[in-house]
Copies of this chain bind each other. A is one copy, B any other.
Amino acid sequence: MSGTTLDTPAPQPGLTGLDLHGVVPPLVTPLDEDGRLDIPSLERLVDHQIGNGVDGLFVAGSSGEVALLDDEARSALVRATVSAAGGRVPVLAGVIDTGTDRVVAHARRAARDGADAVVATPPFYVQPSPAEISDHFRRIAQAADVPLVAYNIPVNVHVALPAETVAELARDGVIAGLKDSSGDLTALRAYLRAAEGTGVRVLTGSETVADVSLQLGAHGVVPGLGNVDPAGYVRLARAAQDGDAAVATSEQERLIRLFRIVTTPSTPGLGGTAAALGAFKAALWLLGVIDHPRTQRPLRPLSAADVDAIRHRLVACGLQPSR
């Protein structure tokens, strides 16, 4: 773990002792041919990340197919990741679920399983108000034994986390961090203002505006594509930290080209999630990091032609597939 932090203001260790910053990839969940957690692949994935200099790991998030894993699988995943990380970097665990009591149960389990922090979205399936979203996070924070990171991901949750709610939760010490996957830099700016002076760390989930987000003051990046090319995002983040905008931007542009693997798949019957996560897994399989490219049911697998197109794009973007 890097001894320095990325944020322009002097590093503050957060309200909670969690020093959240830099590159924190949201890990995919390696599965074997039967859809069971593939621990050797997971260990290689963790080493692939840490060996390339990431500053933390986010497990059981959207990229980790958390919505498709039952409670036992989630728990095993957190335990195995914590074990594989071995204290080298902090491990954040997603505790994504529809309602407060359900998230509380996940959060307690994740803390017992060794997670350094938990990451929760607003309630979904239901239609909550901002006040109810605030209550939701307050109850989770009370119940969890580890720091709480709020997660804005309207594409999945279908409600946005208002900046005013973030300001209030930050001021009251409810949250230690915020992950914003809206991709909207006007929203990110509002979150950064909301967090100002509170020690709350703001991270972007964007693959494609990571450079700009860091330049605007975001403390870190949580890019799904970081699974495939952690070294790229680490170079980008270091350059942004050093004020070298040209290098950060150049690296970002290469990563934007690489990110096209998620729109590459054209296998019939494939949904949007299967295409994106399938592409990450196919790339990791091609790179020799994981043993099986499969995603969790009911997501469909990519065709051989799609995998082949991904191989070509990896090569075009400077990566070296071993398969």
Contacts and interface: CB of A to CB of B under 8 A. Distances in A.
Interface string A205-226: 0101100100110000000000
How often does this chain occur in the complex, in copies?
A: 4
Contacts of A51: none
A297 interface: yes
Interface in A54-105: 62, 65, 67-71, 73, 96-102, 104-105
A273 B127 contact: yes
A54 to B, nearest CB: 23
A186 interface: yes
A198 interface: no
A17 interface: no
Interface in A260-278: 268-274
A33 interface: no
A261 B298 CA distance: 32
A139 interface: yes
A69 B186 CA distance: 31
Residue of A104, A129, A158 contacting most chain B CB atoms (<10 Å): A129
Interface in A148-165: 156-158
A300 B169 CA distance: 18
A100 B212 contact: no
A102 B70 contact: yes
Contacts of A274: 128-129, 132
Interface stretch (A118-126, A286-294, A310-318): A118-126
